[in-house]
Structure 1
Amino acid sequence: MNSRPEPIYAIAQLGHAELLTPRPEESVAFFTEVYGLTLVGEDPGRAHLRAWNDDVLTSLTLTGAPEAGLGHVAWRATSPQALERRVAALEKHGVEGAWHDGDFGHGKAYRYTGVGGHVQEVYFETEKYVPPPGEAPALPNQPQRFAPKGAAAARIDHINLLVPDVVEASRFQQEALGFKLRERLVPAGGDEVGAWLSVMTKAHDLALTKEPAPTTGRLHHLAYAVPETSDVIRAADVFLENDVFIEFGPAKHSRTQGFFLYVYEPGGNRVEVFTGGIHIFAPDFETVTWDAESKGRGTAWGLGVPESFHTHATPPFGGASA
């Protein structure tokens, strides 16, 4: 008899994220003028933005705060019924969360602290983006008129969270929310230090990376996707022209096989421009376990990984920041 548990398809997508920034005005300017998002709303201390190919009203909130970091990350359920089932599963796993009535762009949500110390929420009701008069796209299957600015980030793609115990955090996301473990990194003779999980067919919606410091709740990076590899290369030129420090890339990941570029926004959070990545359609896909970097290379084509990629996270620990 096959003992494989039945897959859970109750979470549809990474819905939105909230980043904290000690330099809110500069962060808003970066994300709109350089990264290429659109400002769609503001309330005291917060700015709400979207990418041109997001079908929802907003996918990113920037909140002024003393330190950079993740405010919360939100997962959208596939239906109201799926939302209720996932909340029941979370509470069965010992989560003590609470419902709230909603926020800018979405309805009621269940907010909780996940394994690893990050504030997360699940929700279903969301406000779709409606272009203002004169801004309707030429093609009706596009949510917004394509008028590229800066790096022209197209849609929210994935998030990477640092966690003290990758196995525990990964198991929680799988059992409580239905994430599928696609790839994992377990160095020979060591503990698991990385896990890449998705909710539907993407290479990953969530990456979990071993936290190097004695702390919890830190962000490694938030990623938006662009359509083509050439868009990532163009983004590098955009960052160069705007005096934005490029930490890593452009290059190709070994795991996920996505093409990438990493920079820091003015508040200190790491953000990625990403494209490609494998897509998984088989319901019985077997998790790929890596015991080392491919042939000793940190990336698919051999580009070395900078030390800051393993040490910089937000909020900085003990005042240390790259």
Structure 2
Amino acid sequence: MTEPLYELAHLGHAELLTPVYDRSLAFFTEVYGLDLVHESGGSAYLRAWGDHDLTTLKLTAADRAGLGHVAWRAVSPQALTRRVAALEERGVEGEWIDGDFGHGKAYSFIAPSGQRMELYFETEKYRAPAGKASYLPNQPQSSVARGVGAARIDHINVLANDVPGTREVMCEALGFKLREHLIPPGQPEVGAWLSLMNKAHDLAITREPVPGVTGRLHHLAYAVENREDVLRAADIFCELGVEIEFGPAKHSRTQGFFLYVLEPGGNRIEVFSGGFHIFAPDWEPVTWTTEGQGRSTAWGLEVPASFHSHATPVLP
């Protein structure tokens, strides 16, 4: 058994690009329920009420939707240095950048799947101002929320032409652990679900449907506290005229309860709850050949065609 690495802590933040900045910002603040903490240079920096870091989402005006970058926080400055060295040993070269609002210097690189990623350690903690503090001292902010009330950033799903090749680099260089993967009979691996600590997944890698295309985003997910919050989100989306693409339902893999919509810029956003936790250090990855007992999801809800075809940037 290869000794597991625990040198990256969690998904730190993501940057989403949008061609309709004002409408996307209104969605994330008024509908999804994030707080705006800073705005400058054509970007807004947002957070969910349960995020301990100052910001977990950067929303940037751009010509088209997509993922600007996704960032992973190391457990220490020393761990950051070691993971950068491991990437470079495998030929994944990047550069150090000064950082951005809310976090310090970061190592920026292009993952084998084509998405820009960052590794960093230094981050600014959120300090709740008057009127936003929780009565519970172990919570970063009051949980009294508006809209969906997204609680914290949870995971991201990126597309890759070579799923096993991408996950091998993420696992061997950065310490991600393979928890589950999907290998249909007679086909190559089409999906892998990886985590850094004990969640079912922090990162999902699924096969890009268009050969030769790289760097696209499937979805970004924030978690809510429980299944009832996902059902409440469905009502909120319907009341506010946001079309639901998929769900509410339960995933077979990860066992999470889910709901997907497209924000105004076109990026797919998930409301997620649950998912199993892994405490065994010698977890054996689960190999799926199809959905459980032939069901499209855990309880049989069919997957819409758009879920397999739509990603951002949208191809011409």
| Alignment TM-score > 0.5, same fold | yes
- Cα shift at 1:133: 2.3
Q: CA deviation at 1:89?
A: 0.3
**Alpha-carbon distance between aligned partners in 1 of 2:166 and 2:151, rounded to the nearest angstrom:** 29
1:141 aligns with 2:138: yes
Q: Give the distance between the partners of 2:132 and 2:67, measured in 1 at CA.
A: 32
Amino acid at match of 2:41: P
Letter in structure 2 aligned against 1:313: A
SS of the equivalent of 2:153 reads strand
| Identical counterparts, % of pairs | 67
Whether 1:72 aligns to 2:62 is no
| Structure 1 match to 2:31 | 34
How far, CA to CA, are the matches of 1:73 and 1:191 in structure 2? 26
Tell me the equivalent position of 1:130: 127
For 1:52 and 1:135, how far apart are their aligned partners in 2? 9
Is the Cα–Cα contact under 8 Å of residues 299 and 305 in structure 1 kept in the other structure?
A: yes
Deviations 1:85-133 (A, max 9, x none): 0000011010110001110100010000001100000000000001112
CA shift, 1:134, in A, is 3.4
What amino acid does structure 2 have at the position aligned with 1:314?
T
Amino acid at match of 1:289: T
Match status 1:208 vs 2:205: yes
Determine if the alignment matches structure 1 residue 317 to structure 2 residue 312: no
Q: Deviations over 1:119-165 (max 9, x none)?
A: 00000000000111233210000000122100000000000000000
List structure 1 segments (4+ residues) > 4 angstroms apart after TM superposition: none
Which aligned pairs between 1:281-292 and structure 2 lie closer than 5 A? 281-292=279-290
Tell me if structure 2 keeps the 8 A contact 1:213–1:317.
no
Contact 1:186 1:289 in 2 (8 A): yes
Q: How many residues are matched?
A: 315
Partner of 1:276: 274
Q: How far, CA to CA, are the matches of 1:274 and 1:124 in structure 2? A: 26
CA RMSD of aligned residues (A): 0.6
Instruction: Report the CA distance between 1:317 and its aligned residue.
Output: 1.4
In structure 2, what is the Cα distance between the partners aligned to 1:222 and 1:273? 9
Aligned letter for 1:180?
A: K
Which of 241, 263, 266 pairs up with 1:265? 263
d(CA) in 1 for partners of 2:295, 2:92: 39
1:53 to 50, 54, 59: 50
Question: Which ranges in structure 1 are unaligned for 5 or more consecutive residues?
Answer: none
Q: 2:224 maps to what in 1?
A: 226
Q: Counterparts of 1:227-266 in structure 2 under 5 Å?
A: 227-266=225-264
1:199 has 2:196 as partner: yes
Q: Is 1:303 matched up with 2:306?
A: no
TM-score, length basis structure 2? 0.99
Q: Distance in 2 between matches of 1:136 and 1:156?
A: 19
Cα offset for 1:6? 0.6
Give CA-to-partner distance per residue, 1:66-86, whole Å, 9 cap, x none.
000000000000111100000
